[in-house]
């Protein structure tokens, strides 16, 4: 066996190099067949018989050259003695003599010995490499070893290509499922589903999250006094400038509703979620101040009010079916989300309000200012609320306060 080391090494390197250029199963099968013909000089034909039950989904049968016209290799070879013997013994075999190949026109093609070597994947036979030699020849020990090496390479290559095919099919299926929903599904939801297709069928789960709501103060007033195209342009510029800070802090933009956004922070660590949400809020606050200066006389100052709350929420996909359309979203639902939304509604002058749980999670990192008890819409009992800003009027804050608000305490 050692005397064939060089030939075997060179053959394996050559096959690996050729296979590296493709992940298409049938191209891989053709390359393997060409290699089998090349490494066994006495070969009349070589085939890879796919025995995987799923093979018909991701492959086309190779066509046998021993016939006067294309014939499915499996129908040609499956009942040959060499194939049956290799399946029964689960190892490579050589049959020294067997009957001729009978064509459909009645002509018989004499052949020599046949070699059949199984392609194993996890102890299961995925395929069989069949090599038919010319009459009057015989397989050498080197031929057998080279075909055996090819069978080992074939197993890994075919399975990798099959997995690639399955992933591709899965993406196509998800795209088709979302195609008719695309006008109604937020971009972030489409991105999450494309990356994690199982989300479409997963049950909602309870998870620690932090939810950030932001709301444009004065949007209704602007809409009433300015052309719709101008207002939309301003809102689009503002929201677009917030996307990078949100994504940089690990947030997922879940909902857009004209003048507001809902952002979910769902890292596995609850405290990290709260810290990231606060960082995003400060970044958004700073961008809001910069944009107000940039717009100058074009628009009145528009403040971004924010509410942040942390806790256990029901996280997962929600589908809303109406008479005209269906809408899909990935959301966190429950009291945690409701309170974050109410805090954003209650905030004024560009304030950032946070709930008690968020306050506890960021304790010592940033100054927190008590805003006292507040009666929030839809909540029976008054709640104590807190702000991340000393004052809620951004247009009168000093540059020192802006810088201070964007950094945690040391």
Q: What is the pLDDT of residues 94-114, one digit of tens each?
A: 998 778 887 777 788 889 999
Which residues, at least 6 apart from 49, have a Cβ–Cβ distance to it below 8 Å? 73, 74, 77, 78, 83, 127, 128, 130
Mean pLDDT by 10 residues, the chain (410 residues): 77 90 89 92 91 86 72 71 92 87 81 93 90 92 92 92 81 52 48 58 78 81 69 75 85 67 88 95 91 72 90 74 52 84 91 95 92 87 91 43 41
The CATH superfamily holding the domain 2-173 is: GAF domain (3.30.450.40)
Q: Say what the pLDDT of residue 380 is.
A: 81
Domain assignments of the chain as residue spans, ordered by start: 2-173, 187-405
Q: State which CATH number among 3.30.365.10, 3.90.105.10, 3.30.70.1230, 3.30.470.30 fits the domain covering 187-405.
A: 3.30.70.1230
pTM here?
Answer: 0.49
Q: Say what the pLDDT of residue 223 is.
A: 64
Q: Say what the pLDDT of residue 405 is.
A: 40
Q: Which of 86, 199, 88, 103 is nearest to 147 (CA)?
A: 86
Q: Say what the pLDDT of residue 242 is.
A: 85
Q: Say what the pLDDT of residue 106 is.
A: 79
- Pairing mode, if any, of strands 352-354 and 304-321? parallel
CA 5 vs. chain centroid, Å, equals: 42
Task: Please tell me the distance from the alpha carbon of residue 375 to that of residue 193, in angstroms, as a whole number.
Answer: 38
> Which pLDDT tens digit goes with each residue over 299-355?
667 889 999 999 998 877 665 554 444 455 666 778 898 899 999 989 998 999 999
């Amino acid at each position: 066996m050692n005397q064939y080391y060089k030939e075997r090494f060179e053959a394996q390197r050559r096959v690996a190099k050729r296979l590296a250029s493709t992940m298409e199963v049938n191209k891989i099968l053709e390359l393997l067949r060409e290699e089998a013909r090349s490494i066994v000089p006495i070969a009349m034909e070589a085939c890879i018989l796919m025995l995987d039950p799923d093979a018909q989904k991701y492959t086309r049968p190779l066509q046998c050259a021993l016939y006067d016209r294309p014939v499915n290799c499996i129908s040609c070879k499956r009942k040959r003695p060499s194939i049956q013997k290799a399946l029964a013994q689960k190892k490579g075999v050589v049959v020294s003599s067997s009957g001729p190949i009978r064509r459909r026109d009645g002509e018989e093609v004499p052949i020599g010995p046949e070699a059949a070597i199984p392609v194993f994947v996890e102890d299961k036979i995925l395929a069989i490499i069949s090599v038919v030699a010319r009459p009057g020849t015989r397989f050498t020990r080197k031929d057998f070893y080279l075909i055996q090496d090819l069978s080992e390479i074939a197993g890994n290559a075919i399975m990798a290509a099959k997995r690639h095919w399955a992933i591709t099919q899965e993406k196509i299926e998800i795209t088709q499922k979302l195609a008719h929903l695309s006008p109604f599904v937020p971009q972030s939801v489409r991105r999450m589903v494309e990356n994690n297709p199982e989300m479409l069928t997963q049950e909602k789960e309870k998870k620690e999250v932090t939810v950030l709501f932001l709301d444009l103060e004065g949007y209704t007033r602007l809409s009433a006094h300015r052309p719709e195209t101008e207002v939309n342009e301003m809102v689009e510029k503002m929201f677009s400038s917030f996307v990078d800070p949100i994504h940089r802090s690990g947030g997922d933009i879940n909902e857009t509703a004209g003048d507001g956004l809902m952002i979910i922070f769902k890292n596995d660590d609850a405290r990290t979620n709260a810290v990231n949400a606060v960082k995003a809020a400060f970044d958004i606050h700073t961008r809001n101040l910069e944009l107000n200066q940039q717009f100058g006389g074009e628009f009145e100052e528009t403040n971004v009010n924010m509410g942040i709350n942390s806790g256990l929420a029901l996280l997962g996909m929600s589908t809303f079916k109406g008479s005209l359309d269906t809408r899909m979203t990935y959301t966190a639902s429950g009291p945690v989300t409701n309170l974050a939304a109410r805090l954003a509604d209650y905030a004024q002058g560009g304030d950032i309000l946070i709930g008690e749980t968020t306050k506890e999670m960021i304790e010592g990192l940033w100054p927190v200012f008590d805003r006292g008890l507040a009666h929030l819409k839809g909540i029976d009992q008054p709640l104590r609320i807190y702000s991340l800003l000393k004052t809620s009027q951004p247009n009168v804050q000093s540059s020192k306060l802006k810088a201070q608000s964007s950094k945690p305490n040391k």
